Amino acid sequence: MNPLQQWRAFQDKSLYYQAVKADGEESCWREIARQYDQLVYPQHQQRALLARLLPRLDGVSSAIEIGAGSGTLTMPLARQFRRMTAVEPSPSMAEVLQGNLVQQRLGHVTIIRQRWEEAQLPPADAVIAGGCLYVFYEIEAALRKMREAARSTVLLTHVGNEGLWDIDLRAQELLAAPKPCLFPPLPLLMDVLTSLRIPATVELFYVTTTKRFTEEQWLKRCQRLFAVRPEQQPLLLDFLRQELHQEHGCWTVTEDVPATIVELRREN
């Protein structure tokens, strides 16, 4: 198979892409949209990623962000630009994003409540796709549209080890479960870019992230990832109680995880 076929084959197995196909992940986002930053994207992770992104956006006055979510990156980035467009198809996430923008008085940000494939937008200096490549089945069309929309640069970001944390990998080993497919791995993305003759630079680094979920949310996550059998649940619960820290009604874990920024260079 060529890299584009390999991408589609991965997505056919990806738990996250199957959720996208089912309902645009809305059943997930509806549950955690208002707590997304607290549960999944803490401020220290945001600051670490921004420290790497902002130097690459020097001189940029307009930007499109794909997969804006609740505005974790949208709001600090918007303060750097005169015009920003946030593409967010999830009704739950877009509602939270709208409230956050009003609260922060960021009236120059426009929310487009459509999938990237459907959105019709004017060009901007930069296009930023933050951790959302897993939503694309036809990756060639998505990347080409990003490049056409960007006058200056396209930045693709991802935090995490293909969507799995160290605690997930230890739980997988404990349960003797197969490794789930979540986010397309970086080598596959680079193979896709090479096959499309899209020049790119890659920056790899580590960020500290903290995940905060209730006991029920941790169990749901593990069930989704590893199809936990009823007789395995006591073992899993004992493991989580030993590995996680209880804090304000949530179970938390802090890890150093790999992060990536891929910049698609314009050809001279």
- Mean pLDDT of the 167-188 span: 94
Furthest-apart CA pair in the chain: how many Å? 60
- Mean pLDDT of the 247-255 span: 87
- Report if residue 141 sits inside a domain: yes
Given pLDDT bands bounded at 50, 70 and 90, which one contains residue 28? confident
Among the ranges given (41-45, 155-159, 257-261), the one the predictor scored with the smallest mean pLDDT: 41-45
| Between residues 122 and 39, the one the model is more confident about | 122
- Report if residue 184 sits inside a domain: yes
**Res 41 pLDDT > 80:** no
Percent of the chain predicted with pLDDT > 90: 77
Percent of the chain predicted with pLDDT > 70: 99
SS3 248: coil
Q: Which domain holds residue 144?
A: 3-161+180-207+258-264
- Report if residue 156 sits inside a domain: yes
| Nearest by Cα to 132 from 180, 217, 189 | 189
* Residues 127-158: tens digit of each pLDDT: 999 889 999 999 999 999 999 999 999 999 98
- Report if residue 87 sits inside a domain: yes
* Residues 70-80: tens digit of each pLDDT: 999 999 999 99
Whole-model pTM: value is 0.92
In sequence order, what are the beta bridge partners of 64?
A: 85, 127
The CATH number covering residue 58 comes to 3.40.50.150
- Report if residue 238 sits inside a domain: no
Helices (H) and strands (E) in the chain, counts: 12, 8
Taking all residues of the chain, what is their mean pLDDT, rounded to a whole number? Answer: 92
**Res 39 pLDDT > 90:** no
- Report if residue 64 sits inside a domain: yes
- Report if residue 233 sits inside a domain: no
